[in-house]
Amino acid sequence: MTVITFTESRPTDILASLHQSAASEREYLFASHDASDEDLILVAWYDDRAIGYIATTDQRHEGLLVWEHVVVPEFRGQGIGRRLLLEAAKRTQPTTRIVIDPMGELALDRVVDYYANLGFPSVPTDGRITARADVIVDALSEQREDATTIAAVLSRKAPGIVTLAPTAPLTEAISLMSSMRIGAVVASSDGSRVEGILSERDILVGIDEHGAGFLERSLRECTTPDVVTVTAEDLIADAMALMTSRRLRHVPVTETGRLVGIISVGDLLLFRLQELDSAGAEMPRRHLDLSDAEVDTAVELPGD
């Protein structure tokens, strides 16, 4: 089964292409705005094809402004726009107001009707449609029997996030990963914005394809600007399904585009084992005090 996945992106040709694909049907396309690296842009993917995005600007006390919300025409009516909005709402504080401000040329009634079905009020205020992030999350989230979230996993991990400037040499990243015994490092200029992620597998594949000269590159040259992320409010079960379908071992956890943690397959497996242990379940296994690398080897899952 094909899984729709979401990445956090920076201004790229992909976004320009998606914008152009929807230009003739501007039903839910909003105020013109040039994207910056500080904006939160989530891209929806069907296999390797980008099929939609939501672009937002964190206006702090004024809320999270949605300035474009696009799904390519042939993928509309399948809930992609709904899921993009949910992903954006989960990445900000629960009390943050999400603001929809349609362009004057759009049919306001149609826009209001669309967002009223997504948890927004049916009556706009001064031409703007607003709702709290937690209201949107409650309206769009599925009720699940196992509602344990990534926040529970992060609460059991040691504090601190390992990042490295994108301009750093690849060899520095390798030394850092080796000395700290970690399987991935996040590229970030300020220790907050996710600008890429480098895994052990990325290094092995790079050397195999480009030879020893690959090691002379910078970290930025070895990572992608489109990074698969999760939020602290995502369910563990969904994160495990995502990592399995995309063959990922490590995924950054973000809030409004800012890094708040990173989880690995090992973290999720260890959490599940500890939950079973606390519930008194009897099962043969090794002692739970395993390193990340040891736990990763217990799951048959290709690398990033």
Answer yes or no: do 60 and 178 share one domain.
Answer: no
**Domain presence at residue 145:** no
Q: Are 127 and 106 in contact (CB under 8 A)?
A: no
112 in the same domain as 24: yes
Shared domain for 159 and 287, answered yes or no, is yes
Residue that terminates a domain, selected from 109, 140, 171: 140
Q: Which helix (H) or strand (E) holds 182?
A: none
Instruction: Give the residue numbers spanning the domain of 71.
Output: 4-140
| Contact (CB, 8 A) for 205 and 170 | no
CATH of the domain at 259: 3.10.580.10
Same domain, 41 and 81: yes
Residue 185 lies in a domain: yes
Longest dimension (CA), the chain: 65
CATH number, domain at 72? 3.40.630.30
Residue pair 93/126 in contact (Cβ under 8 Å)? The answer is no
- Digit-coded pLDDT (tens) for 187-209: 999 999 899 999 999 999 999 99
Query: Where is the domain boundary, 115, 140, 165?
Result: 140
Q: Is residue 74 part of a domain?
A: yes
Evaluate whether residue 304 is within a structural domain. Answer: no
SS3 content of the chain, % helix, strand, coil (to 5): 35, 25, 40
Sign (positive or negative) of CA dihedral 17, 19, 23, 25: positive
Residue 130 and residue 240 in one domain:
no
Domain contains 54: yes
Q: Per the structure block, which two tokens stand in for 1? A: 């089964």
- Tell me: do 188 and 134 sit in the same domain: no
> Which residues lie closer than 8 Å to 139 by C-beta, 6 or more apart?
118, 119
**Residue 270 shares a structural domain with residue 155:** yes
Question: Which pTM value belongs to this model?
Answer: 0.70
Q: At 16, list the tokens.
A: 């320009």
Structure token digits, residue 277: 């242990």
Chain segment 29-50, per-residue pLDDT in tens: 454 556 677 788 898 998 888 8
Q: Does residue 53 lie within any of the structural domains?
A: yes
Q: How far apart are CA 295 and CA 66, in angstroms?
A: 40
Burial of 236 (0-12, 13-18, 19+ CB in 10 A): buried
Contact 72, 22 (CB under 8 A): yes
Cα→Cα distances 113→24, 52, 98, 169, 261, Å:
20, 20, 16, 51, 37
* 123 and 248, same domain (yes or no): no
Task: Return the closest-CA partner of residue 9 out of 47, 29, 37.
Answer: 37
Give me 171's structure tokens: 């060899």
**Residues 185 and 235 grouped into a single domain:** yes
Give dist(CA 219, CA 225) in Å, integer. 12
Task: Look at the chain and report how many structural domains it folds into.
Answer: 2
Domain boundary among 73, 108, 140: 140
Cα-flanking dihedrals φ and ψ of residue 50, to 5°?
A: -75, 125
Joined tokens for residue 22: 């929807």
Say how far apart CA 224 and CA 113 lie, in whole Å: 37
Q: What is the pLDDT along the chain (304 residues), one digit of tens a residue?
A: 457 888 887 766 666 667 666 655 544 545 455 667 778 889 899 888 888 889 888 887 889 988 888 888 888 888 899 999 999 999 898 999 999 877 665 677 788 888 998 999 988 877 788 999 999 999 998 877 677 899 999 998 887 888 999 999 999 999 999 999 999 999 999 999 899 999 999 999 999 999 999 999 999 999 877 899 999 989 998 899 889 888 899 999 998 788 999 999 999 999 888 888 776 644 444 444 444 444 333 333 333 4
Helices 265-278 and 236-245 pack at an angle, to 10 degrees, of 140
226 shares a domain with 107: no
Indicate whether 186 and 209 sit together in one domain.
Answer: yes
Answer yes or no: is 301 within a domain: no
